[in-house]
Chains A and B, each alone.
Chain A
Amino acid sequence: MFRFAVRRVLLAVLTLFAISVVTFSLFFLGPADPASTMCGSKLCDPVTHARIEHDLGMDQPAINQYASYMRGVFVGRTIGSGDTAIDCPAPCLGVSFRTREPVTQILARAFPVTLSIVTGAFVVYLIVGIGLGMLSAIRRGTVLDRVSVGFSLSFASMQIYFLGLLLTYFLVWQTGLLPRPQYVSPAESVGRWAMGMLLPWITLGLINSAVYARLARAQMLETLSEDYIRTARAKGLPIRRVYFRHAFRAAVTPLVTIAGLDLGTQLGGVVITESTFTLQGAGRTAVLAIFQQNLPIIMATVLLAAIIIVLMNVVVDMLYAVIDPRVRLS
């Protein structure tokens, strides 16, 4: 188990290194011309252009650029020279081409928003989705099952912005039950944080619930037809124990993988949800950066997403080994 964990982590580090190289090459060596953007494309004279390029270190060979970027990540660095020099402590992900604000600060502002939306929605769809799916499988063919399948179908085919705006209209504008979605740091007020996040949680939660309900139902139905479930019943176990101790444990295992990877992907940014509720999360920040060719921010958001996904992969693998004893041996 320990060796399994070490191997898995080493592999993750290697993956991250590869991702950083690839992203770096894609964005920094691509055709984008951030210097022009920064000095105002039409008014820019060649001297200023060159100075900006020099400040950004873009006149250096690619390998040096990558090295100084990585040095910044681990030990920090100073960007630019003279009066415009910006001190960027580790982990330095560069500075915004537009505002000259260190990217780390921008992310520190945007990421908690995404984290709040995603974790809350995660809890909603794990409970509602998996609960509904399991129940639906146990009560297969009943009214409850049909209602649940209907729910899955309609919500899975709904778009986040559609449901989000619909809910906003009814819950915020019509009835005033909820405040407009906004991000308040939970450090400031947990209550206002939760109230502000409730709408995104419900929206993203419900839509994902639909998908998870379907997955959970299918998984549970498959598990219920397994021989070991028949054995459990043959032992004379109460049916509830058969469902929860024997069937649920086995049915939920594959869902752990899917949920873990989903969580990883979403933590990298939930653009549509963030945009629907005008919340400045990691996803929206990334999209804005792409429009503005703001390379350091793009690079940082991509790296962040990659780190989270790789990390979640490791977590899922470990969890799997904990849940399924057969994985531990191999």
Chain B
Amino acid sequence: MAPQTNATTDPYLKVEDLRVSFPTEDGVVRAVDGVSFSVERGRTLGIVGESGSGKSVTSLSVMGLHNRKKTKVEGRILLGGEDLLSLSDEQVRRKRGRDMSMIFQDPLSALHPFYTVGRQIVEAYRVHHNVSKAQARTRAIEMLDRVGIPKPDKRFDQYPHEFSGGMRQRAMIAMSLINDPDLVIADEPTTALDVTVQAQILDLLEDLQREFNSAIVIITHDLGVVSQIADEVLVMYAGRVAEFGTAEQVLRGPQHPYAWGLLSSVPSLHGNADEDLLPIKGNPPSLINVPPGCAFNPRCRYAMLDPGPCDTEVPQLLPLALTDEPGHKVACHLPERQRKETYENDIASVGVAR
């Protein structure tokens, strides 16, 4: 375990070689297979990937919200230097909501329909603070006001169904930040919202991050969200890291064909939308039966097959050698020079990459 003195300089959340698997009737699902990343206070990491790429499982394992009996979690999850996987259920519970909190995708289903919004926020505060109901109420109204909910004292006594989608997500954010956690995990926080509201919510998250100086992990499949809010980006595919780098590095000069695919499948406002929009063919693989070698090889247009190595050897996540991009890592067998050429010729001219 890291010495306590280093805690301030160390990243607040450090995930090392995380492996999550659970047995099902059809076989063992390897939802996360050797993922490492870290986030410092005041920084935002975007985890990007399709459904079933293991991004949500990663966040749930960090929060300790996975099914403990069925799920096997290996590796280390260091929160403020303490390995969550070595703690008891009760110790992790005490950290949940206080040191790390979560914002969910659909704020309507994530709030209890039978309790007022205020009561739910008060509950979140009082689990971790020994204060009177009145004090908690004052604090909750303060938070509702802080996240931009008008007339917070009135809204306090309303039920989730009386809130609009955006307001609900604001209330959810107020609830997760009320204990001033050092780590906030936002699992697709804008997916269920109107596009116009999405930007507001992201702005709010950025504002609050400056104020509370928390580390944020934002899970999304929306590259627009990543470009707006993330400092670093982790691209996940089939439970593994495909690419990692700063938002600038990954969005401007992506190295992995999967990242190219993600970028090309975002419609552009310029030119011909039909021609520009190139979907990634096929579906993400079943995590019970991951393709051998690079898990992306069946869908990769550039895969090097017979004689390998794309379908025989799992590519390692390695830093770039030719370009001076510190921290930019990719897990791909293609030679770096060829990747660079391909990107410039095929991808950069298409869609949003322009």
Contacts and interface: CB of A to CB of B under 8 A. Distances in A.
Contacts of B98: 236
Interface string A213-255: 0000000000000111011111111110000001001100100
Nearest to A234: B102
A324 B113 contact: yes
A329 B98 CA distance: 35
Residue among B93, B98, B109, B114 with the highest chain A CB neighbour number at 10 A: B114
Contacts of B114: 249-250, 253, 323-325
Nearest to B113: A326
Interface string A128-169: 000000000000000000000000000000000000000000
Interface of A: 226-228, 230-239, 246, 249-250, 253, 323-326, 329
A231 B161 contact: no
A236 B109 contact: no
Interface stretch (B2-10, B17-25, B122-130, B237-245): B122-130
Contacts of B96: 233-236
11 contacts: A228-B112, A228-B113, A230-B110, A231-B104, A234-B101, A236-B93, A236-B128, A250-B112, A323-B114, A324-B113, A329-B161
Contacts of A329: 161-162
A326 B161 contact: yes
Contact of B161 (A234, A323, A325): A325
B59 to A, nearest CB: 10
A253 B114 CA distance: 10
B63 A226 contact: no
Chief secondary structure at chain A's binding surface: helix
Contact of B63 (A228, A234, A249, A324): A234
A235 B106 CA distance: 16
Interface in B83-132: 93-98, 101-102, 104, 106, 109-114, 123-124, 127-128
A27 B94 CA distance: 68
B65 interface: yes
Contacts of A232: 112
Contacts of B159: 325-326
B65 A233 contact: yes
Given A325-B159, A325-B161, A231 B111 contact: yes
Given A249-B114, A325-B114, A226 B109 contact: yes
A227 B127 contact: no
Interface centre among A235, A249, A325, A326 (most CB of B within 10 A): A235
Nearest to A325: B159
B175 interface: yes
Contacts of A253: 114
Contact of B113 (A236, A238, A239, A250): A250
A232 B102 CA distance: 11
Interface in B127-143: 127-128
Given A226-B109, A230-B104, 5 more contacts: A235-B124, A246-B112, A250-B112, A250-B113, A325-B161
Nearest to A323: B114
Contacts of B127: 235-238
A224 B212 CA distance: 32
Given A233-B65, A237-B123, A227 B110 contact: yes
Contact of A230 (B65, B161, B176): B65
A228 B109 contact: yes
| The 6 nearest A-B residue pairs measured at CB | A236-B97, A236-B96, A227-B109, A235-B97, A235-B124, A228-B112
Determine which residue in A226, A232, A234, A239 has the highest number of CB atoms from chain B within 10 A of its CB, and name it.
Answer: A234
Contact of A234 (B97, B109, B162): B97
B123 A236 contact: no
B106 A227 contact: yes
